[in-house]
Amino acid sequence: MQFPHSNNTYVAWDWEIWAPDVDQTRNNGYPYLKYFYGEVGNHDLVEPIPEACISAYPQPASQKPAISVKNELGEDLSYTIYNIRGQKLYSAKIPYFIKEQIFELPGEAWKLMPNGVYLLTLEKGNRKIASTRLVVLK
């Protein structure tokens, strides 16, 4: 910015953080940010939101699939299997003893599942917190 400039050039500038370059040596005449000395930081202790997830593999399943559950909530959960029509086929509890666990789908649940697409939901009480799709091709 070459001088002379109009009288309203610096209107609405926050001069607590900006400094004018009057002698045109720092920023070619344009205002520049002042230096701040002191401690700047964020000391807020924000904990990550605990989460849980469920997955099934292999996809498509021709034999009893493995169910993988990640539980960072620290509570007992349950899982439910629904068919594509939304009908509940099977439900079981998952006790919390480790954060990540993998188990084979129980035989009684596998017998209830002909070829098709199913929804596995992970639940905490009555609230669904995660879900995954399971394709069965026997």
Coil, strand or helix at 90: strand
Q: Where in the chain is the domain with CATH 2.60.40.10?
A: 52-136
* Confidence (pTM): 0.64
pLDDT tens-place values along the chain, 138 residues long: 455 456 656 667 787 888 887 888 878 877 888 876 556 566 666 767 778 999 999 999 999 999 999 998 888 899 999 999 999 999 999 988 788 999 999 999 999 999 999 999 999 988 999 999 999 998
**Structure-token match 């609405």, residue found:** 12
Order the strands of the 127-136 sheet from edge to edge.
88-94, 77-83, 116-124, 127-136
Q: Give the CATH superfamily of 52-136.
A: Immunoglobulins (2.60.40.10)
Rounded Cα–Cα distance for residues 131 and 54 (Å): 6
Q: Quick one: 135 exposed, middle or buried, by C-beta within 10 A (0-12, 13-18, 19+)?
A: middle
